Structure 1
Amino acid sequence: MAPAPSIEKLDKSEVKEIVVQVIDSDDIRLAELGYKGEFKREFSLLETIAFAFSIMAVNGGVSSTLSFGLPSGGHVGMVWGWFIPCMFIMCVAASMAELASSMPTSAGLYYFSAKLAPERYSALASWITGWANVTGQVTLVCSIDYTVAQMITTAVAVGTDGSVILGAGPTYGILLAILVIHGFICSSATRILARLNLFYGFLTMAATIGAIIALLVCSGDNKVSTETAFGLFENNTGWKNNGWAFLLSFAAPMWSLTGYDSAAHISEEISGAARTAPIAILASVAAVGGLGWIYLICASFALASVPALLETKLALPMGQILLDVLGKRGMLAVWSFTLASQFLCGAAQGVDASRVVFAFARDNALPGSRWWKRMNPHTQTPVNAVWLVVVLSAFCGLLGFSATAFSSLAGASVIGLYTSYAAPIFLRITSGRDKLVPGPFALGRWFMPIGTIAVAWVSFVVVLLCFPASQTTNAVEMNYASVIVLAVFIFAASSWVLSARKWFVGPLPNIDATRALCTAKAQQLP
């Protein structure tokens, strides 16, 4: 085969004859990364920020994870167990923003790993990162929708004055219904999804601020002292070591502040992706971290007794705090908006997860990839990938019949996602120091200390989240996060050893380099 002609040797007329598929600078950059544009770029900066913000739905996240901080330190676990991790999460987000700015493609994290790893380990790094991310994405969809189901059962219990308490079976049935509805929403065209996410973000912000104001105003003179709200420590975990018990409260913000990589995964649907994606990552993490802390401070002031709250029969303790402070009608009013924002959060996460599955399948890394990488001709979205996510999430939802369903699903999603976050960051500060071509957003000389902190933090948290909530446990109350992650690891490792190492080469370009360069030059011509 004759070598491809050099782009520099092509004159203007020759370049003009080439069929140009790339229509803007975003798709030119995507072509240089090896992919042709298959999505419509209809996410603006504001819509992208709203998308990432919606996936972390601050009021829904805080309401769902209060059960982590309460036993692990009481008021201290609620307030400081949220604040401390947020500082380290910002380091992870900043490192990811730099990578997303440099390589704006839906392949995201596993593409970053492939390009930053030593050449001989490129495919393996991509394989590990991709499977970790897919695991985290699917379990995050399931865990979010499971909390929506719990919010519904909580509302039913409050609305019936405790006469109707729905158990694990009905909760799972509600979960399945929510997953199906989300499947239809996520199958929509990109233009519709972009507009919907703007609404999601607005509703989430309004609902969070409304809940904060309601707690501040209605708690009145019944607030606890500042010393109690910020400094009262109570260990109700079952672990004898108070320090370790407090560390377990870190699970709350770690789960709530996940999914911000979504801005990277929809970068092929974003206008000005190299600038927009990193801004969305940093802005959404800062907003959710800050608002979540304020919300928890207000809840801490309104909380009179941690032991009494832990005895509630409601599925989610935050519902009991709102009931105690606002009364039945006020609680249901605030709760309805919390439920709505969490429902929309699940819809946004479903879009994110489907894009990850599509991108990984596009590189033939999943069983049945030819099905999951298909684009629907009507919506120009990966509908098959959407429904694969729905089915896998429904399967994971069977954990709902255990006593630690949410903590197991939350732990698995955090371990999977943050492992996939840390892998390319680790490669960035080691083998990839000189490989990264900086985008519009770059950390400069700060990439090394920030990246080192990020990797160290993730390593610590992954180990932490594998532990059960108590020193003594059983089959019903054990933490199944490690089981889920280990099962996927065994499958991925076996597939690699037995087969994938022979054919998987990492991200597969679907547009040749010469064409990409010609396209870029053609766009620059008058």
Structure 2
Amino acid sequence: MSFPGKATTASKSSGYDDVDHDPVTSVLANGDIPRFDDCMDADERVITALGYKQEFKREFSLWTTFCVSFAVLGLLPSFASTMYYGMGYAGTAGMVWGWIIAMVFIQCVAMSMAELCSAMPTSGGLYYAAAVLAPPGYGPYAAWITGWSNWIGQITAAPSVDYALAAMILAAGSIQNPDYTPTSWQTYLLTTFILVIHAGISSMPTKWVARFNSWGSTFNMFALVAVIIAIPAGTTNSPKFTPSNDVWGTIANMTDYPDGVAVLMTFVSVIWTMSGYDSPFHLSEECSNANIASPRAIVMTSGVGGLMGWFLQLVVAYTVIDIDEVLNSDLGQPWASYLFQVMSRKAALAILALTIICGFSMGQGCMVAASRVTYAYARDDCFPLSRYWKRVSSVTKTPVNAVILNAVLGVLMCLLLFAGDVAIGALFSIGAIAQFVAFAIPIAIRVFFVGDRFRRGPWHLGPFGPWIGALGVGFVLLMVPILCLPADTGSNLTPELMNWTCLVWGGPMIAVTVWWVVDARKWFKGPKVNVEHALYEDVIIGVGDDQEQTGATLADASVDTSGSSSPKR
């Protein structure tokens, strides 16, 4: 970055250097320098260089940012919610092998995302990165597709988590009272109630939200460790553990596909569980020292979460007795069924209670992250009525309207449960596929198209960046069709057993693509700069062995990502 008033040489990339800051890769065109105030701190200058005003209080630290993203992972409730997919497609071998294989590639995606975050620490996250890095003229379309896919994944996260949480609460009630059978309406109303509570907490001041998520995430970590220790110690199985040959070597293929495809299908559990590590990117405008702390939080979340999640997989794989009974129990919740299969009633209820508390914290983290994404995209007028959704409350200094919008959409999406288990289950697959497509687009652009237009931030992967990014993109390309496969084929496939992910995610994506072609391309130009800035044209004039550098200030410029920058008149 460069300060107004100083003569500078325009860089080939959209990035700026000065003695105070590491580089950023900005939507502002070459040489277009924002106006800095002397009172700005380092973080405010970075966000200003990216083209945005500082509107939030920076009350998140590395730890509290990590806590939010780890809460969004919610390993214990996530595993409980997606146990049907991890165990139900390929048995225990699919669980243990599937998790560790998928995690290698997921870590590649996470590290590549962290590199982008360090260069562009803004709430728009992947959407902003796609706009800036896309080839000239394609920035708005890249931002449009990335933003909508990411947003769809974000807004389905809290409803899917809260639905699973409501199902666990009612399953616990059914265990306590065997005569009680939960109805769809009861599950829906309880899910709605939880969503409303989460919306209320997410609308509080940033400091309160950070504190709440810090407590919740800390509890999540302790609860996960406690469960990993308690299940092997408290199992009532005889023998206590399943032989390793059976756990690792026998693929119980419960699909109509070859064993290898069945193992790949188990990845939906890993991908959905691990899709929350982008949260630090979206919270970067509320984080102190964001271009270092936020990417570190991304990598910490993915690394710690992946390792601890695999330990949980191992514990369950070595102790489960009858997979069929777990998946088809009358309780309607595989995690609860598993606990009562391997532990005493009191111990099972205690672990189920821990899972419920962790699930509440996870749903809260999802609501916070989604509201920041909605705010960031509304700030750039991506949505109808964006002027309402981008408002920041003058009281709490948080995007309350965006929170309310997400909560209302979540309540409406949960109506899918009245169409059956497969329909509501689509929320989980949508979250997985939508998020990873959004993750892959800017990474693919950075790896294959960016040339010298990407300027690394202080956290980067060095010369390995493109190679690591290519592995992550390849993994996503492989998994997109796999995530859309139904478990059954041919005459075994019925509408009730169909995987509707391709329709429920693909339908909205086709709709926004048509919207783009018909209308949006005429007015949507990508991230909208909302700071005062000046365009500097710098000329280096050679005079013998000496050089004289001069700078000329142009008028305040209007900037878009279609490859042009023109002075206002």
TM bracket (short chain): over 0.9
Superposition map of 1:498-513 within 5 A: 498-513=518-533
> Which residue pairs with 1:8 in the alignment?
6
* 8 Å CA contact 1:74, 1:234 repeated in 2: yes
> Which residue pairs with 1:523 in the alignment?
none
* 8 Å CA contact 2:86, 2:269 repeated in 1: yes
> Which residue pairs with 2:558 in the alignment?
none
Structure 1 position 294, deviation (Å): 0.6
- TM normalised by structure 2 equals 0.86
> Which residue pairs with 1:390 in the alignment?
407
- The 2-side partners of 1:406 and 1:295 are apart by 25
Structure 1 position 284, deviation (Å): 0.8
- The 2-side partners of 1:264 and 1:115 are apart by 16
Quick check: 1:24 aligned with 2:22? no
> Which residue pairs with 1:333 in the alignment?
350
* 8 Å CA contact 1:135, 1:413 repeated in 2: yes
> Which residue pairs with 2:429 in the alignment?
411
> Which residue pairs with 1:492 in the alignment?
512
* 8 Å CA contact 1:138, 1:393 repeated in 2: yes
> Which residue pairs with 1:520 in the alignment?
none
Of 401-410 and 95-104, more deviation after overlay is shown by: 401-410
* 8 Å CA contact 1:133, 1:420 repeated in 2: yes
- Which letter does structure 1 place at the counterpart of 2:215? F
Deviations 1:204-224 (A, max 9, x none): 001111111111101264221
Of 53-62 and 483-492, more deviation after overlay is shown by: 483-492
- Which letter does structure 2 place at the counterpart of 1:451? G
Structure 1 position 364, deviation (Å): 0.6
Structure 1 position 480, deviation (Å): 2.0
Superposition map of 1:313-332 within 5 A: 313-332=330-349
Quick check: 1:148 aligned with 2:168? no
> Which residue pairs with 2:221 in the alignment?
205
**Quick one: structure 1 residues 433 and 319, their matched pair in 2 at CA, closer, same or farther if it must change by over 3 Å?**
farther
> Which residue pairs with 1:355 in the alignment?
372
- The 2-side partners of 1:33 and 1:219 are apart by 54
Secondary structure, aligned partner of 1:163? coil
Structure 1 position 80, deviation (Å): 1.4
* 8 Å CA contact 2:121, 2:281 repeated in 1: yes
Quick check: 1:170 aligned with 2:190? no
Quick check: 1:58 aligned with 2:75? yes
> Which residue pairs with 2:562 in the alignment?
none
**Quick one: structure 1 residues 483 and 326, their matched pair in 2 at CA, closer, same or farther if it must change by over 3 Å?**
same
Give the greater-gyration-radius structure (CA). Answer: 2
- Which letter does structure 2 place at the counterpart of 1:228? D
* 8 Å CA contact 1:7, 1:514 repeated in 2: no
* 8 Å CA contact 1:403, 1:477 repeated in 2: no
* 8 Å CA contact 1:365, 1:504 repeated in 2: yes
* 8 Å CA contact 1:73, 1:234 repeated in 2: yes
**Quick one: structure 1 residues 330 and 208, their matched pair in 2 at CA, closer, same or farther if it must change by over 3 Å?**
same
**Quick one: structure 1 residues 383 and 219, their matched pair in 2 at CA, closer, same or farther if it must change by over 3 Å?**
same
* 8 Å CA contact 1:106, 1:355 repeated in 2: yes
- Which letter does structure 2 place at the counterpart of 1:213? I
Structure 1 position 167, deviation (Å): 3.0
- The 2-side partners of 1:21 and 1:509 are apart by 20
Secondary structure, aligned partner of 1:259? helix
Structure 1 position 199, deviation (Å): 0.6
Could you tell me which of 36, 44, 49 is aligned with 2:53?
36
- Which letter does structure 1 place at the counterpart of 2:438? S
- The 2-side partners of 1:143 and 1:482 are apart by 17
> Which residue pairs with 1:225 in the alignment?
243
- TM normalised by structure 1 equals 0.92
Of 494-503 and 473-482, more deviation after overlay is shown by: 473-482
- The 2-side partners of 1:433 and 1:22 are apart by 35
> Which residue pairs with 2:500 in the alignment?
480
Quick check: 1:196 aligned with 2:242? no
Structure 1 position 407, deviation (Å): 3.1
Superposition map of 1:100-139 within 5 A: 100-139=117-156
Superposition map of 1:466-477 within 5 A: 466-471=484-489, 472-477=492-497
Question: Please, which runs of 5 or more residues in structure 1 have no aligned partner?
Answer: 11-17, 517-526
Deviations 1:332-385 (A, max 9, x none): 111111111111111111010011110000001111100000011100000000
Structure 1 position 19, deviation (Å): 8.4
- Which letter does structure 1 place at the counterpart of 2:367? G
**Quick one: structure 1 residues 513 and 231, their matched pair in 2 at CA, closer, same or farther if it must change by over 3 Å?**
same
> Which residue pairs with 1:438 in the alignment?
456
**Quick one: structure 1 residues 406 and 59, their matched pair in 2 at CA, closer, same or farther if it must change by over 3 Å?**
farther
**Quick one: structure 1 residues 184 and 348, their matched pair in 2 at CA, closer, same or farther if it must change by over 3 Å?**
same
* 8 Å CA contact 2:234, 2:347 repeated in 1: no
Deviations 1:398-450 (A, max 9, x none): 22122214531111111111111000001001221311111111111111211
Secondary structure, aligned partner of 2:277? coil
Quick check: 1:424 aligned with 2:442? yes
* 8 Å CA contact 2:206, 2:397 repeated in 1: yes
- Which letter does structure 2 place at the counterpart of 1:199? W
**Quick one: structure 1 residues 309 and 509, their matched pair in 2 at CA, closer, same or farther if it must change by over 3 Å?**
same
Structure 1 position 53, deviation (Å): 0.6
Structure 1 position 6, deviation (Å): 5.4
Structure 1 position 467, deviation (Å): 1.3
Deviations 1:433-477 (A, max 9, x none): 311111111111111211111111111111111111222333333
Structure 1 position 20, deviation (Å): 3.1
- The 2-side partners of 1:153 and 1:80 are apart by 32
Deviations 1:9-34 (A, max 9, x none): 69xxxxxxx98386310110000000
- The 1-side partners of 2:327 and 2:55 are apart by 50
- The 2-side partners of 1:22 and 1:480 are apart by 53
Count of paired positions: 503
Structure 1 position 515, deviation (Å): 10
Could you tell me which of 236, 248, 262 is aligned with 2:265?
248
Quick check: 1:461 aligned with 2:468? no
- Which letter does structure 2 place at the counterpart of 1:492? V
Secondary structure, aligned partner of 2:343? helix
Of 93-102 and 215-224, more deviation after overlay is shown by: 215-224
- Which letter does structure 1 place at the counterpart of 2:273? S
Q: Which has the higher strand share?
A: 2
* 8 Å CA contact 1:22, 1:28 repeated in 2: no
Structure 1 position 147, deviation (Å): 1.1
Secondary structure, aligned partner of 1:42? coil
Secondary structure, aligned partner of 2:384? coil
Q: Which has the higher contact order (CA 8 A, sep 6+)?
A: 1
Q: CA RMSD in A?
A: 1.8
Superposition map of 1:79-94 within 5 A: 79-94=96-111
Secondary structure, aligned partner of 1:39? coil
- Which letter does structure 1 place at the counterpart of 2:338? I
Secondary structure, aligned partner of 1:71? helix
> Which residue pairs with 1:521 in the alignment?
none
Structure 1 position 292, deviation (Å): 0.9
Q: Which has the higher helix share?
A: 1
Secondary structure, aligned partner of 2:275? coil
- The 1-side partners of 2:143 and 2:355 are apart by 37
Superposition map of 1:355-374 within 5 A: 355-374=372-391
Superposition map of 1:67-78 within 5 A: 67-78=84-95
> Which residue pairs with 1:182 in the alignment?
198
- Which letter does structure 2 place at the counterpart of 1:170? Q
Q: Which runs of 4+ in 1 moved over 6 A?
A: none
- The 2-side partners of 1:225 and 1:289 are apart by 24
Q: Percent identity?
A: 36
